[in-house]
Amino acid sequence: MPLTPEALLARIEDALGDKLVASRIAVGELTIEVKPEDWVEVAFALRDEPALAFDLMMDLCGVDYSAYKDGAREGARFAVVLHLLSVVKNHRLRVRTFCADDELPMLASLIEVWPAVNWFEREAFDLFGIVFEGHPDLRRILTDYGFIGHPFRKDFPISGHVEMRYDPELKRVVYQPVSIDPREVTPRIVREDHYGGGV
C-alpha cells in the first residue's frame, strides 16, 4: 500500500531539514515548497535518498499567480510545480518553488537529475517565459517558429496578438494584427465560502 502523506512528510523532513520552507497536506496529496536556490539540491536529495527514491519525473509546469483570486494574492508571480512519482516506493509528491524575479523568472535546470525534464522545461519556457539555467537546448517547443510572447501568462489575451492569412498578391502567408476581440460568454466569478449552501 502507498505511504500516507503524513508518513511521507516525516521522511522528507528528515531528508531535507531546513531546506523545506512549507508543506501542506490536502485531499490526500502532499505539497512541499522549497527556495529557488535549493532547487537542484532538493531534487537530488529526493531522487537519491533511499527512503524517498523519486525515480520518475511525472510533470513540470509553470503557474502564473498574478490573477489568482482576481489579483488579491501577494507574493512572487511565477511558480514552477514539479510532480514526482516513486515507482519503487509507490508514492507521489508535489514540489513548488517561486521564481525570485517577476520580470525575468529564472530557475536552475533539473536536466542532470531527471533527463525526462528536458521537454517539460522547454514548454514552461515557451508558455511562461521561465528561463532554466543550464538547460542544453532551451528553444520554444509548442508555439510557432518566430512566435513573440509567452501565451500562458495571464496578461496574454486568449485571442493572441497576430493572425495569419495567405496574401494572393505577395503569394505567401503573412501575419497581421488580430481582427477579433476576446469574447467571454460566461464571466469568471469567485463566490464567498459556502455560497448557496455550498457543496
Partner 1 sequence: MADIRNYTINFGPQHPAAHGVLRLVLELDGEVIERADPHIGLLHRGTEKLAETKTFLQAVPYMDRLDYMSMMLNEHAYVMVIERLLGLRVPERAQYIRVMFDEITRILNHLLWLGTHALDVGAMTVFLYAFREREDLIDVYEAVTGARMHAAYYRPGGVYRDLPERMPQYQVTRGKNEADLRRMNENRQGSVLDFIDDFTRRFPGYVDDYETLLTDNRIWKQRTVGIGVLDPDRAKALGMTGPMLRGSGIAWDLRKLQPYEVYDRMDFEIPVGRAGDSYDRYLVRIEEMRESNKIIRQCVDWLKRNPGPVIVDNHKVAPPSRESMKSNMEELIHHFKLFTEGMHVPEGEAYAAVEHAKGEFGVYLVSDGANKPYRLKLRAPGFSHLAALDEMSRGHMIADVVAIIGTLDIVFGDIDR
Question: Binding residues for partner 1, per CB under 8 A?
Answer: 2, 26-29, 31, 55-59, 61, 63-64, 67-69, 81, 83, 85, 87, 90, 92, 94, 114-120, 140-144, 151-152, 158, 184, 186, 188-191, 193, 195-199
Nearer to partner 1, 18 or 22 (CB): 22
Q: How far is the CB of 17 from partner 1 (least distance, A)?
A: 25
Nearer to partner 1, 14 or 73 (CB): 73
Q: With CA atoms as reference, report the closest residue to 55 among 98, 18, 85.
A: 85
Distance of alpha carbon 120 from alpha carbon 60, whole angstroms: 6
First to last CA, the chain: 30
Report which residue type is found at 20: L
Q: Residue 131: how many CA atoms within 13 Å on its side-chain side?
A: 9
User: What's the alpha-carbon Rg for the chain, to the nearest Å?
Assistant: 20
Nearer to partner 1, 172 or 188 (CB): 188
- Report DSSP state, residue 144: P
Phi, psi dihedral angles at 122 (to 5 degrees): -60, -40
Q: How far is the CB of 99 from partner 1 (least distance, A)?
A: 15
Q: Which residues, including other chains, have CB under 8 Å from residue 84's CB and lie 6 or more apart?
A: 46, 54, 56, 57, 58, 92, 93, 94, 95
Nearer to partner 1, 175 or 195 (CB): 195
Nearer to partner 1, 37 or 144 (CB): 144
- The distance of Cα 106 from the centroid of its chain, to the nearest Å, equals 13
Q: How far is the CB of 4 from partner 1 (least distance, A)?
A: 13
193: which 3 cell numbers? 465560502
Q: How far is the CB of 75 from partner 1 (least distance, A)?
A: 14
Q: How far is the CB of 71 from partner 1 (least distance, A)?
A: 11
